Every structure is written in C-alpha cells, then in structure tokens.
Amino acid sequence: MDATLPNRPAVKYKDLREYLDLLESKRLLHRITASVDPHLEIGAIAARSLERKGPALWFENVKGYEGMPFVTNIISTTQQLGATFDTEPNEEAIHERVVDGMDRRIPSVTLPTGPCKEVVIGAADVDIDLIPTPLWHEHDGGRYLGTTAGIVTRDPVTGFLNMGAYRVMIKDKKTLSLSGGLRGRNASSGPGGGDHVLENEARNQPTPVAIVMGMDPLLTLANGSPVRPSDDGSMEYEAAGGWRGAPTELVKCETSDLLVPAHAEMVIEGIIPPHARTEEGPHGESTGFYGENKMAFVVEITCITHRRNPVTYGLICQRVEDYPRQLLRSGSLQSRIIQKTGFTNIRQVYFPEVGRHGMLIVSAKIRDKEDPRRIMNGIWEDSGERWRWIIVVDEDCNVRDWDEVMWRVVSAADPDHDVFPGKIHNAPKRNRGEVDFDPPRRGMGIDATMRFKDAKFPPVNKVSEPIMAKVVARWKEYGLP
C-alpha cells in the first residue's frame, strides 16, 4: 500500500457534512422544508427523484423527528460523483480513479478519539428510535438501518477487519436483525461478516459488530464494492483512502476492539450471540424483487456513539438506486478479473445497471480469432463469479455506451459463429432461511469484435482516442459545460 499518491491532492471534504456542503455549493443538493413522513413517503420521494436524475435530498422536517435531518440520493449522479472523487464529472475519469485507488490503497491511521464519540450512550439507555429510520418499501417487514451503513467485523482466522453492506432491520429499541455477508472463505472478495459469525459460532463464541452510520461517500462506496482482499489486511478503509488521497482515520469502539471511521455520524456497537436467529424482511432489493431471511442473525446493541445533532443518511434499494454499481463494481471487478484470468490484454470491464450481476461487457486488444472466446471462458471458469452474459468488444469501444455496444453486436456478431451458450452455473447457495430471487443459471457469450473475422470491416467512423483526449483537455477552455 502507498502512504501517499503522487500528483493527487486529497478530496475537498473530510466527512459527510463537508461533502454535503460541497454538493450544496455546486447546486447539487436540494433542501426540503416541507414536513415528510418516514413511513413510505421519504422512500417514494427518493425513488421518483432518482428516476428523474434529481439532486441530493436533505429533509429538514421529518415527521416525529423535528430538528433531525435525513439525507438521501447523494452519490446517484455523475455530477455528484465528480465531486465525490474530485474528478471531471464523466464516467471515464471516475472509472480511472476507482481502478487506480483500488490498486494503490493508502494505510489507515488510528486516532485516540474522534467526532463520532461526541455523545456516548451506554447499554442501559440504548433506544435505536433516536434517529429517523424510514419504512422504504410498501411490503417491507420493518424499518431498515442497514441501507448505507457499514457493517464492521473482524475475521476470527486472520484477524483482519472487514466492512460490508448488509440488511439491518430494527426488531426493537435494543435489538436488530442482520442478514448478509455469507460468501465463503474462498470467495474472490474474501469472507464476509456473515462468514465471521458462523466461524465464531463453530467455537461457541459471540461476534462483536459495529454498524457505522453516516460515513463519508468514499467509505460508503467502498462498503458496497467487492474489495479484493490483500495479504497485508488492507480492506475497504484502505481502498477509500486510495480514492481520497489521504488515510482513513479510525477510532476504537467503546465495547470491542473493532476500529471504525472517526468522522462517522453514528456507530452502533453490538454483539451477535452464537446460534441466535430471528425472522427478517421482506425488504425491497436491487434485484427488482423482495428478499427475506427466516433465520437472520441477531444483534444485541451494547452501546451507541454519535456526533452532536447527527445527520442520518439512507437510500431506497431498487434497480436504480443511490449507488453507482456500474461504476464502482466495474472498477474493482476489472482488477480482479485480470488478476484471476491472466488476460492482461483486457482494457475495460463493465457491467451495465440493467444487468446487475448477470452481464459483463469486456473490451480487449484482440490478438487472434479465438481470443474473444478464450476471454469468455476464462471469466466463466476462472473469475470465481457467476457472470452469465458476456459481450466482448474491441478495445476502441466505449463499454459504457450501450448504443455503441449494441451497434457492434448487430454489426459484427454472426449468430452462427459468434454467439455461444454460456456456462451452466450451480444453483446459488442459499443459507438456511434465506428467500431471494434466483436468476436463470445460464446465459450466453457474444463476440462483437471486428478484428480477425472472416468478414472485412471498413474503418470504424469514430473520433480516435488521441484526438478526443486533446479536446477533452481543453473542454473548459472552450467554455462548454
């Protein structure tokens, strides 16, 4: 890991509050002063605003929680993400920053204390209803804290920390359910928090957990990304540091040895007792369906620390949500696929929002006629992921431009020679009690490349990358938006 990243100044904010100020200064945030109900109304407002590619939303007057602000939709647009990563507001620049920061992580630093400990609430006084928590979807089984929260646990085998985005539902004022983080020790992104719980259970030991609310957006993005594990224990904190251009500052929890972001708005500390289970859900998911778990883990809250006048941040989970999966996970995925398959000629890996975990678009410098098929097979067999549909295009294709990708499919893919049945994956492993959508087990591969094919293609009518790079560098000089 690099302690500093050359030629990269740190981003222009230190925490969620400063980031919201930055968005407001750029007119990318809207304050709603009207009274809003956390029961379904906030969720519906967030959903409609996302569909309209609206601004970040700051609710000043949440019914039942007067004076306690709630924010959502803060990393949902390219303009917002340009502010998040301190780049130009375009997907290419953001993608480059994601990949670079993931590859050049910065070690975190531990402080004696931090803003997240301005108020400390002991176990006897815990009441999780102290902050506004919406009922997001009409068929949800309860109110969910865990839509942007980071769930921090420690690996009982390696001792390394892990942070992941899992479902966390309120059961009562001192008890939560937790569902997720069950990937297996050999998963490409390493074991998750749920795996840590099961391994502790095998020893009849409880699992300390910290639920971190209101993190800065880079930590929120790292939290939801499949950060590949490293030998030195670097994880989501260090990836966020790589993007930030400065170390993530951490503090030790009050009731465990877990380390949490010092500038978070709130930290909920707890214990997951071994072998305890509870019903969780349903909850609307990004698959476009509802999911639930009849045997979710139980979290007993032991302590809450928070900043004075905490700002609560949450999102509505749906197919399009306040999280740029297509950018963040494509960036982390690209490095992992190249590492796993050995195909260093891959230039970009992207999965479109519409495909979620089922489709990949891969651009590569094609070396011979069989190369596209080898790339598909390598991803299906060696990547450790359940990708079903794969489209391979030449390196000059913009993989984030769906129109261009489809133009290449219809122009260059012969169904008799360039379309192949995909790998038949095993049925998804469901842990006892989980009820979730299971997609079809097989997709297909499409070779939409033009080099080395029997058909002869004229030159592609497209501005070349070197010329376009010169124009992009002078874009502001032209006075264009």
pLDDT tens digits, one per residue of 243-272: 999 999 999 999 999 999 999 999 999 999
Q: Is 327 among the domain residues?
A: no
Residue range 303-320, pLDDT digits in tens: 999 999 999 999 998 877
Q: Is 7 among the domain residues?
A: no
Look up the CATH number of the domain holding residue 246.
2.30.110.10
Interstrand relation of 290-306 and 266-272 (parallel, antiparallel or unpaired) = antiparallel
Confidence of residue 7 (pLDDT cuts 50, 70, 90): low
In this structure, the answer to whether residues 290 and 357 fall within a common structural domain is: no
Q: Is 336 among the domain residues?
A: no
In this structure, the answer to whether residues 291 and 397 fall within a common structural domain is: no
Q: Is 357 among the domain residues?
A: yes
Q: How many domains does the chain have?
A: 2
In this structure, the answer to whether residues 353 and 275 fall within a common structural domain is: no
On the question of a cis peptide bond just before residue 226, with omega within 30 degrees of 0, the verdict is: no
Cα–Cα distances (Å) from 95 to 276, 286, 328, 335, 442, in that order, read: 41, 21, 7, 12, 28
In this structure, the answer to whether residues 290 and 162 fall within a common structural domain is: yes
Q: Is 318 among the domain residues?
A: no
| d(C-alpha 51, C-alpha 473), whole Å | 31
In this structure, the answer to whether residues 263 and 371 fall within a common structural domain is: no
Confidence of residue 3 (pLDDT cuts 50, 70, 90): very low
In this structure, the answer to whether residues 308 and 347 fall within a common structural domain is: no
Q: Is 480 among the domain residues?
A: no
In this structure, the answer to whether residues 157 and 252 fall within a common structural domain is: yes
Mention every residue, 6+ apart, whose C-beta is less than 8 A from residue 73: 46, 49, 50, 54, 55, 56, 57, 315, 322
Residue 4 above 80 pLDDT? Answer: no
Residue range 359-378, pLDDT digits in tens: 899 999 999 999 999 999 99
Measured from the Cβ of residue 385, the count of other Cβ atoms closer than 10 Å reads 20
Q: Is 455 among the domain residues?
A: yes
Residue range 50-86, pLDDT digits in tens: 888 999 999 999 999 988 999 999 999 999 999 999 9
Owning domain of residue 432: 342-473
Q: What's the chain's length in residues?
A: 481
Q: Is 103 among the domain residues?
A: yes
When the pLDDT of each residue in the chain is averaged and rounded to a whole number, the result is 90
In this structure, the answer to whether residues 369 and 302 fall within a common structural domain is: no
Q: Which range has the worst mean pLDDT, 63-72, 212-221, 429-438?
A: 429-438
In this structure, the answer to whether residues 306 and 363 fall within a common structural domain is: no
Tokens standing for residue 8: 């990269």
Last residue in a domain, options 272, 298, 313: 313
In this structure, the answer to whether residues 290 and 382 fall within a common structural domain is: no
In this structure, the answer to whether residues 107 and 182 fall within a common structural domain is: yes
Q: Which range has the worst mean pLDDT, 139-143, 317-321, 403-407?
A: 317-321
Look up the CATH number of the domain holding residue 394.
3.40.1670.10
pLDDT of residue 431: 64
In this structure, the answer to whether residues 423 and 309 fall within a common structural domain is: no
Residue range 218-237, pLDDT digits in tens: 999 999 887 877 888 889 99
pLDDT of residue 295: 93
Q: Which range has the worst mean pLDDT, 99-103, 226-230, 299-303, 459-463?
A: 226-230
